[in-house]
Amino acid sequence: MKMQAVRGTQDLLPQTSKRFRKIDEIAWQSAKTFGFEEIDTPIFEFSDVFHRTLGETSDVVAKETYTFQDRGGDSLTLRPEGTAGIARAFISNGLAQLLPLKYYYCGPMFRYERPQKGRYRQFHQFGVECLGFDSPESDVECISLGFEILQRLNIQNRTVLEINSLGDAASRNIHKDKLVTYLSKFEADLSEDSKVRLKKNPLRILDSKDPKDQEILKNAPQLKDFLNDTSKSFFDRVCEGLSLLSIPYKLNTGLVRGLDYYTHTVFEFVTQDLGSQGAVLSGGRYDGLIEQMGGPATPSVGWASGMERIALLLDENILADSTAIVAVIAAEDSAELESLKLTFELRKAGISTELIYGGNVGKKMKKANKLGARWALVIGSRELESQKFAVKDLVNGEQQEVSRDQLFLKLKI
């Protein structure tokens, strides 16, 4: 039996957990001010929830899902992303009468990808979904929340917002016909994946990383040239809104995203600082998804962000913990129990307190320093009798004697 984590998974040791907690805290606080509520859906779903929605020919479905049969014979899939599960939950809980809805979520996702820096097989996303919003301003609102979170995490200046429009279904169908005609001329030279996609889902070819495909794509008909007036004016308003909020963006007509459910606006905040895994927060509009899954027509927009990638970009400063710790030190055996009681009472009063175990006072004091404690409280029989305690400031070395009542006031900073 190998005593190691499965390839592409990682243990979140305290240093990383601390980062994840901070990210979730800031993201959730920001989402709350934007009027979002929290939702949590199961980690696995019936396979169809993902296989029928994300696109049979998308990399995620074709190569990356963790799909298995459970003991009852059902085909289940570990969620590779959050949107399809939330759409399923919206339908199965009959939430249509509550529309519009704004949801925030955070949790693990699973994709069988080739692991590298910033890319894992179990990774974590926080994300938002705005269900029942059809105006371009809601796209702007949704993107502005992502921007705000990146700003509050102090990493927005290391990213560039790239946006594109995939237009509505009518625009995409016209483009699709032109694209198939063009690509068919080069069919023999396309990669094996793209040959399959040419029959099943030609738009996916635009997402190909294969160098030969990319060469052929250079002269392919561009979607932007086939956007109808409705699609164009929708996208213009999104761009106008972003400018109005002073959110810098870059048009990227090659941005098609890896999942099939998108319509109109798609976007990614991309960084240069993580090698090839540059997308840190990405999403778009998915007007047809819920209807395609059997629910009512529900225009929607959302995004998700990879916590591992954000954690890699996060500056130490933002993690600085302002909580001052009190170290309680029993000077003799007979004071251990009373020290435990005082520790409990201080904690109940909301003061972060550590009871220091083992060794004499000198050794315990060293441990308190190593812990980064702000104050040390040494308790012996004399202190217990007089109920007066010596509080030592471990930063400047000063010592002050305070009564038990004053103690709580002094330490509650």
Report if residue 279 touches ligand HAM, rule: CB under 6 A.
yes
Distance CA 265, CA 311 (A): 27
Helix axes 192-200, 169-184, angle to 10 degrees: 130
Per rule CB under 6 A, is residue 24 in the interface with ligand HAM? no
Among 30, 58, 77, 83, binds ligand HAM (CB under 6 A): 83
The interface region with ligand HAM, picked from 35-43, 208-216, 298-306, 339-347 by CB under 6 A, is 298-306
Told to check if 111 binds ligand HAM by CB under 6 A, we report yes
Contact indicator for 293, 137 with CB cutoff of 8 Å: no
- Residue 111 identity (one-letter amino acid): R
Q: Does 129 bind ligand HAM (CB under 6 A)?
A: yes
- Which part of the chain contacts ligand HAM (CB under 6 A), choosing from 15-23, 96-104, 280-288, 355-363? 280-288
**Binding-residue total with ligand HAM (CB under 6 A):** 27
Among 81, 193, 207, 260, binds ligand HAM (CB under 6 A): 81
Interatomic CA distance for residues 307 and 280, integer angstroms: 8
Stretch that binds ligand HAM, among 113-121, 170-178, 231-239, 323-331 (CB under 6 A): 113-121
Q: Which of 143, 364, 366, 318 is nearest to 243 (CA)?
A: 143
Query: Distance (Å, rounded) from C-alpha 409 to C-alpha 413?
Result: 8
Contacting ligand HAM (CB under 6 A), which of 213, 306, 326, 377? 306
Q: Binding to ligand HAM by residue 284, rule CB under 6 A? A: yes
DSSP 94-150: TGGGG-SEEEEEEEEEE-----BTTB-SEEEEEEEEEET--SHHHHHHHHHHHHHHH
| Angstrom distance (rounded) from CA 269 to CA 244 | 18
Stretch that binds ligand HAM, among 9-17, 119-127, 357-365, 380-388 (CB under 6 A): 119-127
Burial 15-29, CB ≥16 within 10 A → b, else e:
eeeebbebbbebbbe
Please tell me whether residue 141 binds ligand HAM under the rule CB under 6 A: no
Binding-site string for ligand HAM from residue 258 to residue 277, where x marks contact by CB under 6 A and - marks none: x-------------------
Which pair of structure tokens corresponds to residue 41? 């859906």
Find, among 352, 413, 407, the residue nearest to 377 by Cα. 407
The Cα–Cα gap between 129 and 39 comes to 10
Q: Shortest Cβ distance from residue 95 to ligand HAM (Å)?
A: 17
CB nearer to ligand HAM: pick between 313 and 373: 313
Instruction: Report 156-185 residues binding ligand HAM (CB under 6 A).
Output: none
Should residue 146 be labelled a site residue for ligand HAM when binding is judged by CB under 6 A?
Answer: no
Q: What 3-state class would DSSP assign to 161?
A: strand
- Closest CA relative to residue 66, chosen from 80, 54, 52: 80
Coil, strand, or helix at residue 306?
A: strand
Closest CA to 352 of 381, 374, 337: 374
Under the binding rule (CB under 6 A), the answer on residue 155 touching ligand HAM is no
Query: How near is the Cβ of 8 to ligand HAM at its closest, in Å?
Result: 8
User: Which of 193, 308, 354, 383 is in the footprint of ligand HAM by CB under 6 A?
Assistant: 308
Q: How far is the CB of 269 from ligand HAM (least distance, A)?
A: 8
Question: Which spans of this chain sit near ligand HAM (rule: CB under 6 A)?
Answer: 81-83, 111, 113, 118-120, 123, 125, 127, 129, 258, 279-284, 286, 302-306, 308-309
